[in-house]
A and B are shown apart, each in its own frame.
Chain A
């Protein structure tokens, strides 16, 4: 091992890290831990560089007067790319469609999930465990695989090319997971807090809306935002179920406008991609704190 012994002073200076860091000790271990840290930092920087390249291209190309396919500092700065895509046809209509589609689907998902989670979390019954296992089982099914039959089914029942049919399907595809999460969050709300409401003669619905949901507010918003992010980025479902151009959400319309990969206006494509991705990135930042802290998988991966 190379003897890059960090001077004892430097280690203390950068110990701004989280709880996982070993406390800096005295003696030879100090130089070892700072050596380890340096190696870890270098490793991360390499990965960071690799992961950043495509994102840097996106930002540069969107403001470049003459963008190419490789990462390069813009030859000249311009907002032309953005102003060219900010039209009804390219941006506003598809984004509005996305909002309608994913907004209504998210509303359905969280409403149905919150309602279903209540009895599953609060009552005991013989069928609640099999029900939950079925839900968990459905979270794993590759939804992609059912899209061909769903298309056939939607043609038969006249739901094809309708916003409401598509949002119903989107809502359902996200539902098992939302129910599972919602139930886990609800389990965390002590039942004693409900008792007061019960003794005041509140119905289960009042107990749910007035007591539980306010108490699990952060959890509720995580489920909501998470579902929305998923639907916003979903390409395959609207690609299969919506046909008329004026109803297409942004995920699919991007294809129609920039679809023929022969002659792409890269600057405009990059500008549109930024506009289309910004909402979900911002929403993710809103829930990132909750995701980062004590995050486990479906509430359930234990190492």
Chain B
């Protein structure tokens, strides 16, 4: 799981600007005082920068799982192969669908809805709902995968409910696997957006919404002209982090469908794994991984732009 996750800053922590400095600390120009950042830097270079560099190298070779010695440089072959590969294109489409439904439409919208309902609800209901939604988020990924596998399975809870409502039931994991895993991801990840938006909404001055209400603006008008513009930056950051998070979901889908049936829920991370380990094409799998990394890096750069004044 990538570390794109929430940060926590207590009320008493400004998290911005520089702490007031003791002049004497600044005057002691001693390079050794930077020694404490060494352990973290070494770890990051060895286990993060190293693998990324290695990733960039392997992506241009034909390395196979069997026999490390036989790898040779093949230039852009892996990439041209990918773009001509039916399965790869299928994975790109599925990844886009998965991201759109579960992150942008699902988690983001549901999170905002929950946060704004919570601002108006009674305390007991707010606390219980919050606790349950967060519980789904804190559960280990694999457990969440199993729970939703049973929920969507042929004899599962969802079909039971549909039957009770006299609606046609079906084998979701077989007919619409990508929808099932997308909804599973909404179940698992909504808490994050809910927390972000709760924090953002609580920062809107009450006078603003109240005066709008007095002026006769209806709830939709208020949402569109006041609330959304005021939490603009939170929306941007939340979408960014959600999307990055969703791009790298592996365990949840693996537990529910293994990317199947066939390749109908095979998003890019699953495709990458499948090529590298089931088809033994490490080089090819890594080329796909590199594409994912590049997309992630582009998103990260946008995220940094959003956060600029925080550093």
Contact = CB atoms under 8 A, between A and B. Distances in A.
B157 A235 contact: no
A108 B40 CA distance: 9
A142 B293 contact: yes
B297 interface: yes
B88 interface: no
A140 B237 contact: no
A180 B7 contact: yes
B20 A191 contact: yes
B165 interface: no
B21 interface: yes
Interface residues of B, number: 134
B22 A195 contact: yes
B270 to A, nearest CB: 10
Nearest to A131: B37
B2 A142 contact: yes
A297 B194 CA distance: 12
A122 B25 contact: yes
A44 B125 contact: yes
A188 B159 CA distance: 52
B166 interface: no
A301 B233 contact: yes
B7 A300 contact: yes
Nearest to B200: A303
Given A47-B110, A48-B132, A173-B48, A149 B286 contact: yes
Interface string A221-250: 010001001101111100100000000001
A236 B250 contact: yes
B160 A70 contact: yes
A177 B241 CA distance: 13
Contacts of A233: 1, 138-142
A143 B135 CA distance: 24
A3 interface: no
Contacts of B4: 139-140
Of the listed residues B33, B119, B122, B136, the one surrounded by the most CB atoms of chain A closer than 10 A to its CB is B122
Contact of B36 (A47, A204, A258): A204
Interface string A281-301: 100100110111111111111
A80 interface: no
Given A54-B151, A179-B40, A291 B129 contact: no
A106 interface: no
B141 A251 contact: yes
A216 to B, nearest CB: 9
B122 A152 contact: no
B241 A120 contact: no
Given A187-B19, A303-B204, A149 B58 contact: yes
Interface of B: 1-22, 24-26, 33-34, 36-41, 43-44, 46-48, 50-52, 54-55, 58, 63, 68, 110, 113-114, 117-126, 128-129, 132-136, 138-143, 146-151, 153, 155-157, 159-160, 187, 195-196, 198-204, 206, 210, 230-234, 237-238, 240-241, 244, 247-251, 254-255, 269, 272-273, 276, 282, 285-286, 289-290, 292-293, 296-297, 299-301, 303-304, 307, 310-311
Interface of A: 14, 16-22, 36-37, 39-41, 43-45, 47-48, 51-55, 57-58, 61, 68-71, 108, 111-113, 115-116, 118-125, 129, 131-133, 136-153, 155-156, 168-169, 171-177, 179-181, 184-185, 187-192, 194-195, 198, 204, 208, 218-219, 222, 226, 229-230, 232-236, 239, 250-251, 254-255, 258, 261, 266, 269, 273, 276-277, 280-281, 284, 287-288, 290-303
Given A116-B36, A116-B37, A198-B22, 7 more contacts: A111-B39, A171-B43, A184-B15, A233-B139, A235-B140, A299-B9, A300-B16
Q: Which 5 A-B pairs have the closest CB atoms?
A: A303-B200, A298-B7, A188-B13, A294-B11, A235-B251
8 contacts: A41-B121, A44-B118, A48-B132, A69-B156, A115-B40, A119-B34, A251-B140, A281-B135
